[in-house]
Amino acid sequence: MLYQIYEAQRSLMEPFADFAQAAAKLYSNPLAPFAQNPLSQRVSAGYELMYRLWKDYEKPQFGITSVEVDGVDVAIQERVVVDTPFCELRRFKRYSDEPHTLAKLKTQPAVLVVAPLSGHYATLLRDTVRTLLQDHKVYITDWKDARMVPLERGTFHLHDYVHYIQDFIRLLQSEYGNCHVISVCQPTVPVLAAVSLMASRGEQTPLTMTMMGGPIDARKSPTAVNNLATNKSYEWFESNVIYRVPSSFPGAGRRVYPGFLQHTGFVAMNPDRHLSSHYDYFKHLIAGDDASAEAHRKFYDEYNAVLDMDADYYLETIKTVFQDFALVNGTWDVPTVDGDDVERVRPQDITTTALLTIEGELDDISGAGQTEAAHGLCTGVPKARQQHYEVKGAGHYGIFSGRRWRELAYPQVRDFIARFGEAPATAKRAAPARRRKAAAAA
């Protein structure tokens, strides 16, 4: 019922948001006879703020049309290469008619960026993608809003997430020989599971794994997010935050964790900061500070755009990652694709994939040590192929977006990928033997 009430309220506020937008434009129009005075500027700013607070935020676009590679502008074409019921795999194809640049683009490594499925769209990693495109072929998982997925497409579980990642890794391996994987926040756990299972089967694993600000071991330096998950029971979450999608959406009847609840939780973590930001926006509008006002719009266009998550996936993530700590306890069993068996997740079986973990010094979502814990699990990876980096002064978003990402974190990621761009020689010799053994067992 809560979801239906929310949708009714949103529909009710829609005409008021349209009115506020029109009034803001009217009072700021230089041709209007009453627009050239301080009072009109304040009225316009007030209506603009109302519009921003009341409007419905749709999924943003990546909007990356070009990047600079060695001083040359390279055109970007965004396209979907795999379309599944719950996720699109997007590629950002780079084009250039400059021979030297084109030759360089062809030799650069392929990177799979696994975006979080935790309330926001993959476009939250726009800056991550744009920066990576300077030196890499880039693919990203673009998770779909569960309320837009019809019931007949089935449900989505945490193990489906793991299988999707494995399929995407195999696709890039078939195209380029191998690839690198970067996971940001929530997907660090399923990515580590996916690669672990591939290693346990004797499959080829990615050359590197970069894990950024994720809850590998949520017991370390618990944050408000962790405490909520541990202080409430599984049954509490199922009874209090799971609702059915209203009839006005393609996914009508699907059980979901609604995006608007997740957004409320995001805001509740730092209400003073958001209140101050909106007041500053009001002052920027009055002062005519267009650059600051536009920066506010861009941030909140992304921050306020949220998606629903399938209930099974959400509840299983709560239990597996934040309540049972199944990954670090070595008790996580993932069903096979056909559902006839289960496989134990064993990170210690990873031997050839280099591991980089990145944390933000001031991260209030994934606390200190949570991501670094991956090193203690991946005991089969030689120490020389492991690295940890803490981004000084960075909060959660600062490790993958903004100045600190571009100037501090990204050089670490770029150099790590370049350093381990080939599998160890021993792994190359051992791989055929593992494949022969697997074939014999089959």
Beta-carbon neighbour count of residue 299 at 10 Å?
Answer: 14
The secondary element (H helix, E strand) that includes residue 79 is strand 72-83
CA distance linking residue 63 with residue 77, whole number of Å: 10
Q: How many domains does the chain have?
A: 2
User: Is residue 50 domain-shared with residue 184, that is, in the same domain?
Assistant: no
> Roughly what angle, to the nearest 10 degrees, separates helices 259-269 and 271-287?
90
Q: What is the pLDDT of residue 435?
A: 38
Residue 250 lies in a domain: no
User: Is residue 269 domain-shared with residue 364, that is, in the same domain?
Assistant: no
Give the β-pairing of 354-360 and 386-391.
parallel
Please give the C-alpha separations between residue 21 and each of 134, 203, 308, in angstroms, as whole numbers.
38, 55, 27
User: Is residue 89 domain-shared with residue 228, that is, in the same domain?
Assistant: yes
Q: What is the DSSP string of 293-310?
A: HHHHHHHHHHHT-B--EE
> Roughly what angle, to the nearest 10 degrees, separates helices 38-54 and 2-28?
160
Residue 247 lies in a domain: no
User: Is residue 50 domain-shared with residue 103, that is, in the same domain?
Assistant: no
Residue 266 lies in a domain: yes
> Roughly what angle, to the nearest 10 degrees, separates helices 158-176 and 188-200?
60
Q: What is the pLDDT of residue 425?
A: 64
* Residues 366, 368, 374, 376, CA torsion sign: negative
Whether pTM exceeds 0.85:
yes
Residue 405 lies in a domain: yes
Contacts 24+ apart (CB under 8 A), 70-77: 70/101, 70/104, 72/96, 72/98, 72/101, 74/101, 74/105, 74/133, 76/133
Domain termination site, one of 303, 335, 359:
303
Q: What is the DSSP string of 254-266?
A: -EEE-HHHHHHHH
The secondary element (H helix, E strand) that includes residue 113 is strand 110-114
Please list the rounded mean pLDDT of every run of 10 residues in the chain (442 residues).
86 90 86 74 91 90 94 95 97 94 94 95 96 97 97 96 98 97 97 98 97 96 87 93 94 95 84 91 90 92 93 97 96 93 97 97 93 97 97 95 96 97 62 37 32
CATH number at residue 419: 3.40.50.1820
Question: Do 328 and 217 contact (CB within 8 A), yes or no?
Answer: yes
User: Is residue 38 domain-shared with residue 143, that is, in the same domain?
Assistant: no
Residue 84 lies in a domain: yes
CA distance linking residue 353 with residue 382, whole number of Å: 9
Residue 246 lies in a domain: no
User: Is residue 106 domain-shared with residue 15, that is, in the same domain?
Assistant: no
Q: Is 216 exposed, middle or buried (0-12, 13-18, 19+ CB in 10 A)?
A: buried
User: Is residue 125 domain-shared with residue 192, that is, in the same domain?
Assistant: yes
User: Is residue 132 domain-shared with residue 174, that is, in the same domain?
Assistant: yes
Question: Do 66 and 74 contact (CB within 8 A), yes or no?
Answer: yes
Burial 268-283 (b: 16+ CB within 10 A, else e): eeeeeeeeeeeeebbe
User: Is residue 362 domain-shared with residue 226, that is, in the same domain?
Assistant: yes
Question: Do 40 and 28 contact (CB within 8 A), yes or no?
Answer: yes
Query: What range does the domain containing 269 cover?
Result: 2-56+259-303
User: Is residue 397 domain-shared with residue 290, that is, in the same domain?
Assistant: no
User: Is residue 155 domain-shared with residue 293, that is, in the same domain?
Assistant: no
| Alpha helices (H) along 270-383 | 271-287, 290-303, 311-317, 326-329, 374-377
Please give the C-alpha separations between residue 397 and each of 75, 76, 185, 219, 404, in angstroms, as whole numbers.
27, 25, 10, 21, 10
Residue 417 lies in a domain: yes
Question: Do 181 and 199 contact (CB within 8 A), yes or no?
Answer: no
User: Is residue 147 domain-shared with residue 118, that is, in the same domain?
Assistant: yes
Q: Which residues contact 31 (CB under 8 A, 6 or more apart)?
A: none
Angle, CA 214 vertex, CA 208 and CA 218 arms, to 5°: 130
Report the chain's C-alpha Rg in angstroms.
23
Domain termination site, one of 303, 334, 358:
303
Residue 219 lies in a domain: yes
